[in-house]
Structure 1
Amino acid sequence: MSIQALIDKTYTGGDLRLGTERGSTSAYRQYYATYRGNGLTISGRINIPRGDGPFPAVVLAHGYVDVDEYTNGETMLRERDYLARQGYVTLHIDYRNHAQSSKDPDAEGNLRLGYTEDAITAALALQKDSRVDPDRIALIGRSMGGGVVYNALVVKPGLFKAAVAYAPVSSDTVDNFDKWTRGDDERSGAAARIIKQIGTPEDQPRNWAAVSPRTYFSRITEPLMIHHGTADEDCPIAWSEETVAALKKAGKPVTYHVYPGQRHTMVAQWPLSIRRSEAFIADAMG
């Protein structure tokens, strides 16, 4: 279990299939979707602009929702709607163990690194679809999905044209483990499985560095934008401050927007943030 193991892995993605159409508008058609990635079937929701393609595309990596409560495509609706209206195919992935996706009993014990695989194979599946321009695919993640963004950029540099992280988790996996796993009695089983594999952060700091994307920031080749509110009650803004500092230390360009007084969902400033995100992605795609 390490970022290096993900780097060394071979990825296959394809067989993007559309299911029931629901939620379509005059600007785009929306479908239940599945794709195959590294032997698993991952479900999601896809918006396809009306008109002639191929279109640029965005993979959307959502934040944490209890897998027992999560339903297909229930999050990031505003991002999907806005971007599809701007002419992007948007594929919101459910991740393994969510909704109708394949089950992975090791996901929690492996620090959910499999979610990164799901984002990577989603892009590969989109590249094979005739409605998508294979050279113009971006990645957006929020909260936990922001961690998926960091991981995907270091694991498969060059796959995405640009990436955006909204109110992201820490790029140091120890921070996330301490806040949501080790400190949560309901997740004591997952914490025990993780510690059995790689030890505690205090006893095995090298092992924990090996599962933290920050350790591998030198591999990033894509432009990255980060949005964070100063009043975020879930992911402290200090985490993004530290991530930005680490990116700059690694010599990687990062565009960082701070939103005074905004909480985790950045409701009041979300329209500004998505306009900034779309312009950033469009510029990177050329």
Structure 2
Amino acid sequence: MEKEFNGRDLKLGQIQDGNSDYTRYHITYKSGDLTISGIMNIPKGIPPEDGWPVLFLNHGHIDTSVYTNGRGLRREQDYLARQGFAVLHSDYRNHTQSDKDPNTETDVRLGYVEDVINAVMAVKNSDISSLSKERFGMLGHSMGGGISQAVMVVRPDLVDAIVLYAPVSSDVVDSYNRWTLRNSSNAEKIRSAHGSPEENPEFWKNMSPRTFFDRVKTPIIIFHGTADESCDIEWSRETRELLLAAGKRVELVEYPGQYHEFGATFDDFMKRSSDFFKNNLK
């Protein structure tokens, strides 16, 4: 995915909510020629000299017909903003108020990766003085974990730390077999454009983050429940082993009995994630 990323025109819109710790804004920014919507939680009080460190949260798959602005990871958005992080949650293209891209599914959702990278670039290029232009972290859940894995190999220097929360496999063929084949229309479009994994293994290899783990520069921590009914914990175990084999900094935290969205271990997950970001966003 060799291309220029020109994220820009980050705009804080209507205030959606607020409390004693942060203000929640509707936002828009430009990703290529598209306008992307999202939300941003910005802490109250006096920011550090270089601005609040910024975390980019990447949500998992939610049907675009029911998705609403900022949906997914609401608990995480709240917790992390209360810890002194500005939190930007992109809606991605084709979701709610974002512009539409008819090729997103055929392009194996690479557009979502572009939108997330451009969200970071939009902060870097913004004139919002309360936001740091250098201290960035990223958290991705499920499909958003796959997006985060793509980011860490496409733009290895983009962020300082990455949290993967019950992520999809680092081999996109696993996602193809698990979900794409269930939608015969999308599967046929993808096969027509790129071939199936059996017909065109080189394409699918090049779409898989694990192929390029040698490029990773970011410390990574993975959290996964052993009872995850959506994303197999074996996927995260394999990802950890491949990253270790490539000489990268990675840790896997397994939560026995936890499902795709954490319940009893949520507070521990959030504290560890917050501490991880605080230790690496310096």
Displacement after TM superposition at 1:204 (Å): 2.0
Q: Deviations over 1:169-198 (max 9, x none)?
A: 01000000110011x1xx212111111122
Query: Is 1:269 paired with 2:265?
Result: yes
CA separation in 2, counterparts of 1:111 and 1:168?
17
SS of equivalent to 2:260: coil
2:204 matched to which residue of 1? Answer: 208
Moved more, 70-79 or 194-203: 194-203
SS of equivalent to 1:31: strand
Displacement after TM superposition at 1:47 (Å): 0.4
2:71 matched to which residue of 1? Answer: 74
Structure 1 runs (4+) deviating above 4 angstroms are: none
Displacement after TM superposition at 1:252 (Å): 1.1
1:229 matched to which residue of 2? Answer: 225
Q: Deviations over 1:106-132 (max 9, x none)?
A: 001111111111110001111233221
Displacement after TM superposition at 1:163 (Å): 0.6
The number of aligned residues is: 277
Query: Is 1:22 paired with 2:16?
Result: yes
2:179 matched to which residue of 1? Answer: 180
Q: Where do 5+ consecutive residues of structure 1 fail to align?
A: 1-5
2:54 matched to which residue of 1? Answer: 57
Query: Is 1:139 paired with 2:138?
Result: yes
CA separation in 2, counterparts of 1:111 and 1:268?
34
Query: Is 1:170 paired with 2:164?
Result: no
1:3 matched to which residue of 2? Answer: none
TM-score using structure 2 length: 0.96
2:158 matched to which residue of 1? Answer: 159
CA separation in 1, counterparts of 2:209 and 2:83?
31
The sequence identity of aligned pairs, in percent, is: 46
Displacement after TM superposition at 1:52 (Å): 2.3
CA separation in 2, counterparts of 1:158 and 1:9?
15
Query: Is 1:47 paired with 2:50?
Result: no
1:260 matched to which residue of 2? Answer: 256
CA separation in 2, counterparts of 1:9 and 1:69?
31
Tell me which of 89, 94, 104 is aligned to 1:92.
Answer: 89
Moved more, 136-145 or 193-202: 193-202
2:278 matched to which residue of 1? Answer: 282
CA separation in 2, counterparts of 1:180 and 1:243?
19
Q: Where do 5+ consecutive residues of structure 2 fail to align?
A: none
CA separation in 2, counterparts of 1:219 and 1:275?
28
Displacement after TM superposition at 1:270 (Å): 1.0
